[in-house]
Structure formats: C-alpha cells, structure tokens
C-alpha cells in the first residue's frame, strides 16, 4: 500500500474540513493516508510554523502532502497556499461562485459554523441530551408526551447511541424502550408505547451481529446465546409488523446513517 | 432580509455536505437561507424527481436555488447538474485534482464515508458510549483506569454532553466528575481524581451563563442562585489552578468546539 501524508488545516475546530477530507480520501481505498488535523490556525505565526512542517514532510518523504484547507482569512490562507503541498481549498473554491450567485460579498468572518450562535438553541440541545439520558432503556415512560421519537428494539441493537446522537446533533427528544420478556411475545405494543405509537420507530439487527455484540459484553448465559439472539430478533420484527411500526435494520449502518435514516423516514423536522 | 432556497443533495446521509454547506452559507449572514436536505439520492428516478422540485422552486421564486452536491455516480450527478440552480459540487470539484496529485483514478464508490467500515471500530465506539454513560456524574470512579479523559467542573458546566460527544465521535472513554461540596473548598484534587491526574481536564463557565442554565432547569433554591454560581465557579477555577489542571471556559463554545479544543490541548490521539 502506498502511503501519503495529509494535513487538514482550519481556523476553527477543523471538524467540517476533516469530514470532507475523509469523504474525498475514501475514494482512494488503496492508498494508506496518514492524516494530521491542525485546528485553530488563526494567526500568521501558527500558519508559518505549520507551513514549515508541511515543507519538511515534503522534503523528507519526497512526496507532496495533500493539504485540505478551510481558512477564512486571506493572509493566513496565502501562507498555507505557498507551502510544498497539493492544496485542496474547501472554502475559497466556492466562496467566489457563491458571491456571484448571491450578488454580495461574503463576510470573511471566522468561526460562524460551530460556534454557539444562539443561547436558546444551545440550551434546547442540552435539554435534549438530558431528556435522552433520563428516558434511556425504558426509564421515565411517563415523559413520553415530550418525546420527538421513541426507539424500540431488543437489547444491544443500537438504541442508546442512536438516541444520544439524535439529541446531541439534532436536538431531538429521543427516548428508547427495550423489548424484553412479555413485550416480545405479545402481538401488540406495550401499553406505555401504545398511546404514543406515532412516535415509535423500531430498530432491528442481524442475529449474528447481535450475538457478537452481546458476547463482547457478557459472554456466557442465555442473554448472549445464538438462540436468544435469533428468537428475540424474530419476535421483535414480528411485533413491528403486527403493530405496523416502521423499522430499520442497523447491521451495516453507522450511528450517523441510522440517525439520518430515521430523520428521513419519519420526516422529523430538525430543531438545529 | 433576503430569502434564498438551498438544497443539499447526497447519495448517502448528506451529513458532510450539510456541514460544508452550513459553513459556507454562514459567510452570508444577511441572507435568510431555507435549506432542504435530500439524502439517499441514489437512483436516476430520485434524482429526476428532485431536479423537478428544484426547477419548480426556481420558477415559483424567480430565483435560482443554491444546490450543494456530493454525488459519486456520474449519471446521477449529471441529472442534478442540469437543474435550474446554482450547483456547488463539493465532491467532483476536488476529485479531478486529487486523481492527478495521487496518480490514480478514484474508485467512484458510494458510501465509504459514514458506513460501518470496521466492526471492531463500531464496537469500540459503542463501548466508549456505554463507558461514558456508566461513569457519568462521578459514578464508578473505580473504572477511571480505563478512562482516556476525565472531565471535571461544577454542575451544569457542560461535562455530560461533552463526554457523550467525545465517546460518540472519537470513541474516547470519557468520564466526568462533578465538583460539589467539600471538593470545591479543598485546595487539592479529590482522592478519586488524584491518582489519575494526568487524565483530568477542567471545564469552567461564566457565572452568568451558568445561572441562566441552572434556572431553566431548577428555578428557586440556592443551587440556581447568582451567589452559588459565582462562588462555585471561582472555587472550581481555584482548584484547577492550585492542582495545575488544564481547563477551558465553555461559555462561548458549542459542544463540537469544546470537544475539538480538549483533543487539541491534551494531544489525545483519536481512536476513530
């Protein structure tokens, strides 16, 4: 495998630039990229030091690093642009065309993207996280009237991380309820869920993958047996079908994909 | 305020494209953007339907919408490129230059970015989330030897959401410990923290903002009084200084910024 060095340079957190770089680099799967993120590059001095590092890397490896850049300040960007690297400017490339399309100049101000733009929005996001914690794993079902969504499924199918993701990212009041015991053998939804059925969304998972996840946590015992995983998953899917609850199989999905799929399928408006 | 319509089009979740679009649009603060994300546009039929919607919007508003695109498939991209909008291609714009710099063609495969590329990585990420839940708010301090980081601060300064963010996004085993009562009046770290002091990181917050956050949750009582907020914050900062614990003020920061700052300041290597 070829190795290539990659720098992600940003005047703020670098999170957006990192995600974009990752997405683009994933199109070259046979190259082994070694990525270094340089966040908070917001002074000339920092930019010059970083450019020096990049030049050294180019010299020592005999190969130009890829340099992904989101820098708002022209002077700082110029310093990075002059380095010995292949610069991919994720920001400036589009600002010109956008200025022409929108008929006005951009503000050239740093840090509008991930800052606390709005105290009320921040507070509601935090409230959502605390709501999801309080209603995790079937707790506080009497608070379901405040829920935006209630995820339902067998133990360890991904409910908790998905709820936390939905609350952290989208400010959703996301509760979750585990299907266990008699909930699995009934043909209808548990009473706590029945009156909020329009908010209920099912998660399912391949039994083999569930087995693997459960065994990593608690090996031995019927909970982490192949038979329990097969039976529970079949029962849960049967509950979803007979109660006409939409559901999604999480086996091949990341938490981000599960979250985006739920938003998409339920048409839930985002709060953030 | 002018209003402009924006479409974010992706063959997968659209999360990266959304973040990039948001970052670029924030440079035009006087325009009121109405953004619609169209994820999972992975067939010609879906692309044609969407292009129709965009054309209709252009016609009804008399103004070309901005269309941010990350589409790997050439045929699907072509359909969107022909629509009545200003297309900002976040993906294809850079793939050509990258192919030349890397000396090879890109794989043109969809969904490498947010998929479950690696079961072991997924499992460790989920383990991190469960670790953070189990060690939230000073619980299970005997598990601190497994921690990557232990966040410390007064109640409601942002510890829990930050821990969940660090575990969800970066797979970090992030615990948190609240400073209350006698912990605040001592000049040294609480015993549970002392032996893990190299992992301890402080969060602080402006007393006014803390007051606002506490009052929204529990109004009345000394917990949400201006005096308690001022005293506790001063005491916590004094503990950080005398114990020589690095800390950051979260008042003007989003959870993403707090997380990125902690990674940057501690030099913690990312697990994901």
CATH number at residue B169: 3.40.50
CB of B209 within 8 Å of any CB in chain A? yes
**Are the C-beta atoms of residues A238 and A183 closer than 8 Å to each other?**
no
Backbone angles phi, psi at B35, to 5 degrees: -105, 135
Same domain, A52 and A173: no
pLDDT at A94 over 80: yes
With respect to residue A185, please indicate whether it lies within any of the assigned structural domains: yes
Predicted local confidence at residue B252, as pLDDT: 86
pLDDT at A118 over 80: no
Domain end point (choices B69, B102, B135): B102
Alpha-carbon gap: A239 to the closest alpha carbon of chain B (Å): 26
Q: Where do runs of H (alpha helix) occur along chain A?
A: 15-25, 44-61, 74-81, 92-102, 119-134, 159-170, 182-185, 191-194, 207-217, 226-242, 255-266
> Residues A69-78: what's their mean pLDDT?
93
**Which residues of A are less than 8 Å from B160 in CB distance?**
129-130, 133
Residues 61-100 of B with CB under 8 A from A: 64, 66, 70, 72, 86, 88, 90-91, 93-95, 97-98
Alpha-carbon gap: A134 to the closest alpha carbon of chain B (Å): 11
The total of structural domains in chain A comes to 2
**Residues in contact with B170: Cβ distance below 8 Å, sequence separation at least 6, in sequence order:** B128, B259, B263, B268, B270, B271, B272
- Tell if the CB–CB gap between B160 and A130 is shorter than 8 Å: yes
Q: pLDDT (tens digit, 9 = 90+) per residue, A30-59?
A: 899 999 999 999 999 999 999 999 999 999
DSSP H or E run through B240: helix B226-242
Confidence (pTM)? 0.78
- Tell if the CB–CB gap between B168 and A160 is shorter than 8 Å: no
Cα A216 to Cα A203, A212, A233, B11, B126: the distances in Å are 20, 6, 18, 33, 11
From the list A113, A21, A23, A206, the residue with the least C-alpha distance to B12 is: A23
Same domain, A94 and A179: no
Same domain, A191 and A237: yes
Predicted local confidence at residue A271, as pLDDT: 62
Same domain, A131 and A236: yes
Residues 164-203 of A with CB under 8 A from B: 164-165, 168
From the list B64, B40, B99, B119, the residue with the least C-alpha distance to A88 is: B99
Predicted local confidence at residue B197, as pLDDT: 93
**Are the C-beta atoms of residues B157 and B210 closer than 8 Å to each other?**
yes
CB of A241 within 8 Å of any CB in chain B? no
Q: Is the dihedral of CA A156, A162, A163, A165 positive or negative?
A: positive
With respect to residue A88, please indicate whether it lies within any of the assigned structural domains: yes
- Tell if the CB–CB gap between B104 and A29 is shorter than 8 Å: no
Predicted local confidence at residue B186, as pLDDT: 84
Domain end point (choices A73, A102, A131): A102
pLDDT at A68 over 80: yes
| Beta-bridge mates of residue B40 | none
CB nearest B254 (choices: A94, A114, A127): A114
- Tell if the CB–CB gap between B133 and A160 is shorter than 8 Å: yes
With respect to residue A109, please indicate whether it lies within any of the assigned structural domains: no
With respect to residue A200, please indicate whether it lies within any of the assigned structural domains: yes
Chain A residue whose CA is closest to B261: A13
Same domain, B126 and B260: yes
Which domain covers residue A78, as residue numbers? 2-102
Burial string for B210-233 (b: 16+ CB within 10 Å, else e) reads bbebbbeeeeeeebbeeebbeebb
Predicted local confidence at residue B29, as pLDDT: 87
Same domain, B96 and B123: no
With respect to residue A245, please indicate whether it lies within any of the assigned structural domains: yes
Cα B189 to Cα B174, B177, B194, B245: the distances in Å are 18, 11, 6, 9
Q: pLDDT (tens digit, 9 = 90+) per residue, A176-192?
A: 999 998 899 887 899 99
Domain end point (choices B102, B131, B151): B102
With respect to residue B37, please indicate whether it lies within any of the assigned structural domains: yes
With respect to residue B22, please indicate whether it lies within any of the assigned structural domains: yes
Backbone angles phi, psi at B38, to 5 degrees: -115, 90
pLDDT at A1 over 70: no
CB of B120 within 8 Å of any CB in chain A? no
- Tell if the CB–CB gap between B86 and A72 is shorter than 8 Å: no
- Tell if the CB–CB gap between B39 and A260 is shorter than 8 Å: yes
CB of A123 within 8 Å of any CB in chain B? yes
**Which residues of A are less than 8 Å from B96 in CB distance?**
none
Same domain, B156 and B248: yes
Same domain, B80 and B166: no
With respect to residue B49, please indicate whether it lies within any of the assigned structural domains: yes
Same domain, B65 and B172: no
**Which residues of A are less than 8 Å from B94 in CB distance?**
24, 88, 90, 93
pLDDT at A256 over 80: yes
**Which residues of A are less than 8 Å from B260 in CB distance?**
12-15, 39, 114
**Residues in contact with A85: Cβ distance below 8 Å, sequence separation at least 6, in sequence order:** A7, A54, A58, A64, A65, A66, A67
Mean pLDDT of chain A: 89
Alpha-carbon gap: B108 to the closest alpha carbon of chain A (Å): 6
Residues 215-234 of A with CB under 8 A from B: 216
**Are the C-beta atoms of residues B124 and B172 closer than 8 Å to each other?**
no
Predicted local confidence at residue B271, as pLDDT: 62
Same domain, B64 and B133: no
From the list B203, B192, B185, B186, the residue with the least C-alpha distance to B245 is: B203
**Both ends of chain A: CA-CA distance in Å?**
41
Q: Is the dihedral of CA B205, B207, B208, B212 positive or negative?
A: positive
Chains A–B, number of C-beta pairs less than 8 Å apart: 205
Query: Could you read off the pLDDT tens digit of each residue along chain B, which spans 272 residues?
Result: 678 999 999 998 888 888 889 889 988 988 999 999 999 999 999 999 999 999 999 999 999 999 999 998 999 999 999 999 999 999 889 988 888 888 888 887 765 555 545 677 777 888 899 999 999 999 999 899 999 999 999 999 999 999 999 999 889 999 999 999 889 988 789 999 999 999 999 999 999 999 998 888 777 778 889 999 999 999 999 999 999 999 999 998 888 889 989 988 888 766 66
**Are the C-beta atoms of residues B45 and B15 closer than 8 Å to each other?**
no
- Tell if the CB–CB gap between A27 and B95 is shorter than 8 Å: yes
Same domain, B242 and B145: yes
Q: pLDDT (tens digit, 9 = 90+) per residue, A142-198?
A: 899 999 999 999 999 999 999 999 999 889 999 999 999 889 988 789 999 999 999
Predicted local confidence at residue A29, as pLDDT: 87
**Which residues of B are less than 8 Å from A259 in CB distance?**
13
CB of A1 within 8 Å of any CB in chain B? no
Predicted local confidence at residue A154, as pLDDT: 95
Same domain, B32 and B124: no
Alpha-carbon gap: B190 to the closest alpha carbon of chain A (Å): 26
pLDDT at A113 over 60: no
DSSP E strand boundaries for chain B: 2-10, 31-38, 66-70, 86-89, 149-153, 174-178, 200-204, 247-249
């Amino acid at each position: 495998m070829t190795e290539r060095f990659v720098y992600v340079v940003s005047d703020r957190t670098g999170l957006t630039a990192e995600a974009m770089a990752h997405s683009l680099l994933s199109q070259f799967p046979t190259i082994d990229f070694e990525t270094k993120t340089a966040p908070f590059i917001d002074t000339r001095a920092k930019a010059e030091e970083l450019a020096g590092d990049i030049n050294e890397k180019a010299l020592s490896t005999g190969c130009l690093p890829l340099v992904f850049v989101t820098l708002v300040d022209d002077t700082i960007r110029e310093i990075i642009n002059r380095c010995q690297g292949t610069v991919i400017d994720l920001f400036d490339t589009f600002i010109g065309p956008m200025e022409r399309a929108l008929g006005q100049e951009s503000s050239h101000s740093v840090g509008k993207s991930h800052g606390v733009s709005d105290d009320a929005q921040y507070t509601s996001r935090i409230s959502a996280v605390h709501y999801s914690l309080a209603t995790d794993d079937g707790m506080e079902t009497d608070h379901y009237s405040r829920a935006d969504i209630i995820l339902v499924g067998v133990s360890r199918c991904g409910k908790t991380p998905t709820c936390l993701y939905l609350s952290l990212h989208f400010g959703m009041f996301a509760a979750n309820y585990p299907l266990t015991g008699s909930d699995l053998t009934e043909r209808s939804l548990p009473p706590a869920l029945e009156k909020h059925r329009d908010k209920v969304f099912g998660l399912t998972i391949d039994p083999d993958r569930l087995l693997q996840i459960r065994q990593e946590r608690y090996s031995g015992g019927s909970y982490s047996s192949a038979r329990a995983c097969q039976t529970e998953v079949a029962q849960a899917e049967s509950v979803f079908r007979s109660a006409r609850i939409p559901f999604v199989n999480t086996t091949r999905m990341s938490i981000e994909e599960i979250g985006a799929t739920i938003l998409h399928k339920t048409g839930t408006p985002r709060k953030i």
